[in-house]
Amino acid sequence: MRQLISIRVVAVAIGLFFALSVLWALVRGIGPGFSNLAEYGQFTEPNVEQAFHKHPNHYDFSFDGPVGNWDVGQLQRGLKVYDEVCSACHSLKFVAFRDLAELGLTPGQIKAFAAKHQVPGVDKNTGEATTVPGLPTDYFPSPYPNEIAARAANNNAVPPDLSLMTKARHDGTNYVVSLLTGYQKQPAELLKRFPEAKTPPGLHYNPYFANLNIAMPPPLHTDGQVTFDDGAPSDIKSMAEDVAAFLTWTAEPKLVKRRQTGWPVVIFLIFATGLAYMSKQQVWAAVKPKKAA
């Protein structure tokens, strides 16, 4: 009898474990893995990065949480910030112009938006490589013809593609906002403790960047830099949040649909676990455990 009860308990526990695992993945997402040992402290004296690097601040977004949803207006504003500011240095090579239909743009708007961008093409008369106005089927073009040109224009640093940036960085959405709003002068304490770590010429101090010094100058440097058609605030923080939301969409365009699909799956697994348990009870109901001698 005790053995039978133990088997039942184990079966229920296994079913609940799998159901709760899916629920946890739905709510929290896949974690970035174990943090660097520096986060937990070391026996040695911390270096300048460990002492002054800051983790991203938390910002509230409409797509946060298990029942979050896209703020289409914010995504459209983020697209405009990217197009007018970020696209001067960064590409979106995994995003096609036609994908913007998910942001509420009409076919006509997408066609016009694509046409104002020059993409690699071929001259119909000579057959030589050239640039032509984009089509909805084209992808966002790179602002540089090659890596050498990119390095030459950016203090020997290649601006990364932003298509998957929020997935490539821990707490990516908050990281983007914190980085864009985190430019500042080096703290006096840093220069006192680590005088050799003074920011080199051509770089900019940002405590949210991994090694504190970043080649990219502040892209959002003044309020009202981008004017939004819907009259939304255009201070630096608001613009940073808007473009961070847009880059979250470029990295995970199916984020909301995935969560919406996940809830029925979790409910089904819980229901299936209960059904399996009751079926097992029914099948083995006629089997009586042997009494101990």
Cβ partners under 8 Å of residue 154, min gap 6: 89, 215, 216
Helices (H), 136-226: 147-153, 165-168, 172-181, 188-193
The pairing of beta strand 204-205 with beta strand 213-214: antiparallel
Angle between helices 172-181 and 236-251 (to 10 degrees): 150
Are 9 and 242 contacting, i.e. CB atoms less than 8 angstroms apart?
no
Is 204 flagged in the annotation as binding? Answer: no
Is 90 flagged in the annotation as binding? Answer: yes
Q: What whole-number distance in Å separates Cα of residue 57 and Cα of residue 253? A: 23
Burial of 147 (0-12, 13-18, 19+ CB in 10 A): exposed
- Residue 131 forms beta bridges with which residues? 120
Ramachandran angles phi, psi of 120, nearest 5°: -60, 140
Structure-block tokens of residue 197: 């770590």
Is 165 flagged in the annotation as binding? Answer: no
Q: What whole-number distance in Å separates Cα of residue 27 and Cα of residue 155? A: 41
Give the residue ranges of the annotated binding site: 86, 89-90, 216
Give the residue ranges of the annotated binding site for heme c: 86, 89-90, 216
